[in-house]
Chain A
Amino acid sequence: MRTKCQKIEYRISDYIDGTLSERQAAAVASHIRSCQSCQREVAALKKTQYLLKNFYVEPDASDAYYAQFTAKLQHRIEQSAPTAVHQRFAAAATRLGWQLRTQIHRYTDHFRPSRFISIRRHALPYYVLALAMTVLIAAPFLLTQVSLYDNGEHVRLPSAALQPAVTLTIQQDKTAVHRIGIRRNINSERTTEIPAVDSGSEVWKFTDEPMVDGYIFAKLRKESSDAVPSVALGIDSELLAYAEFPAQGAIWARLTSRDVVTEDRYALLLLRGINTGQHARQQYERKRSESKGFSQISEKLLDVPLEMLSVAAVYDPIEL
């Protein structure tokens, strides 16, 4: 029996954790039932676990320490930063951005409507000051980054956008014939009239079948001879675009560079207010199951928080 106990002893921890196989657990349980010594061992270890779970005090530090730590860390990262004058300016802009972003995240993480007034009263001047300084310092650098293209035929996102420059290919709707009734919401049965697009407007159609779940999911192609966009998605420019759903109509969006999150060959275009229908979901699932690469990319892109994107208004055709 003694030998048996020694063999069992090494499995008692796993037995308590429930990580033994069914057969092993049954063997241990069977032995424990017949051995008082092992019963005491199990009981003692369970008590030990109980004490750990209920009485162990996890260490923590004060908020003041964490605030100080963040500042120190920021300083250390800056120390390894480049030292050219324009890079110093960029670093200063980054610092301000850092502070602002930290504050925003801290605020949103702990948002309580009842606290809003007091937070705003005390912190608003700092937010405004930090924002103004960030804009003043960063604007020249951002503007210098907004030039663009390979040969004038492709749209290149400015580096100031959320993601790096990727050529966005959206086919121009040369015919400007929209045969499908346009709906504000693809779930809506009501169709509206085809928008009267000004002849000077740049209107583009997504070349790939869009996937919608509050988003347009479009394929990007870096090299495409049939795509001839002539408008730059610069900070101040915008793009009127539409996506068709064969069975359900089309949706319109006014896009700016900030609405486009790109990853490799795909773009995710966020459309506020668009509710997906079953069709879009099925299409998405089908495509997802067909392509592992698509799945990985789409998961990543759909993992983008709404609040991180600046969303242009979804165009109501009536407004067009």
Chain B
Amino acid sequence: MDRTEALLIADLCEGDETALAPLVERYKRMVYRLAVQITKNHADADDVMQETFIKVYHSIHTFRRDAAFETWLYRITVNEALNFVKRRERQRESTIETTPEAAYEVSTRYRAQLANDPHTQAEKAELRQYVTEAVNNLPLKHRTVVILHEFEGLTHAEIASILNCSEGTVRSRLHYARKKLRTLLKPYMEASAI
């Protein structure tokens, strides 16, 4: 925790509303990134983001200062996003914006291009889209673990703490997520030699 953050948190604990703004400024991108990856929807991510920071504002006194604020914020964000998705799914069938089939279509096109010239920017852009969609098509629980581990760099223990589950569960979800991703990305891997 750096100096500014410690003071801001102390200020916020003591009711100084203005201390929230710099914290929002500092963490808004992280919170948005997590929220949109879990909800897969900008509008929902916006709601999650608001609820997250409102919760920070109202619950900052429960934050244990010896812990990392970032981890605490991860926990709030992930739980808000997961709850949001669950509520949404109860109300209606979740709209999957990208489907595995769509991802495979991209893959087929990509493979065809790769055979001609594997190094063009267009191909790389398409590969990015394909890999991103593969992650988005993972089931929610698996996707969450992959995001936290592979992209946010959290350890199994940290993820277990955030998701309130055992490390074994995290390992298991990560394992199955990787196997699923390996299957989704197989067409690319067969066509290229990384």
Q: List residues of A whose CB falls within 8 A of some B CB.
A: 10, 12-14, 19, 44-45, 47-53, 55-61, 66, 69-70, 72-74, 76-77, 94, 97-99, 101-102, 105-106, 109, 162-164, 261, 263, 296, 300, 303-305, 307-308
Contact of B178 among A13, A57, A102, A308 (CB under 8 A): A13
| Distance between Cα atoms of A44 and B42 in the complex (Å) | 33
Q: Which residue of B lies closest to A58 (CB)?
A: B33
Q: With a CB–CB cut-off of 8 A, which chain B residues contact A76?
A: 50, 54
Q: With a CB–CB cut-off of 8 A, which chain B residues contact A109?
A: 25-26
Assess A94 versus B18: contact at CB under 8 Å? Given A73-B50, A109-B25, A304-B7: yes
Which of chain B's residues 115-170 have a Cβ closer than 8 Å to chain A? 124, 127-132, 135, 146, 150-151, 156
B174 within 8 A of A: yes
| Distance between Cα atoms of A57 and B98 in the complex (Å) | 14
Q: Which residue of A lies closest to B6 (CB)?
A: A303
Q: Which residue of A lies closest to B132 (CB)?
A: A57
Interface of B: prevailing SS: helix
Assess A55 versus B128: contact at CB under 8 Å? Given A10-B175, A300-B65: yes
Size of the B side of the interface (Cβ < 8 Å), in residues, is 58
- Is the CB–CB distance between B50 and A72 below 8 Å? yes
Q: List residues of B whose CB falls within 8 A of some A CB.
A: 1-4, 6-7, 10-11, 14, 17-22, 24-26, 28-29, 32-33, 36-37, 42, 46, 49-50, 53-54, 57, 65-66, 124, 127-132, 135, 146, 150-151, 156, 171-172, 174-175, 178-179, 181-182, 185-186, 188-189, 194
Contact of A98 among B18, B46, B54, B171 (CB under 8 A): B18
Assess A51 versus B24: contact at CB under 8 Å? Given A59-B33, A59-B36: no
Q: With a CB–CB cut-off of 8 A, which chain A residues contact B26?
A: 105, 109
User: Nearest Cβ in chain A — how far from B156, in angstroms?
Assistant: 7
Q: With a CB–CB cut-off of 8 A, which chain A residues contact B57?
A: 77
Q: With a CB–CB cut-off of 8 A, which chain B residues contact A106?
A: 25
Q: With a CB–CB cut-off of 8 A, which chain A residues contact B178?
A: 13, 45, 48-49
Q: Which residue of A lies closest to B23 (CB)?
A: A105
- Is the CB–CB distance between A98 and B21 below 8 Å? yes
Q: With a CB–CB cut-off of 8 A, which chain A residues contact B3?
A: 303-305, 308
| Distance between Cα atoms of A52 and B147 in the complex (Å) | 10
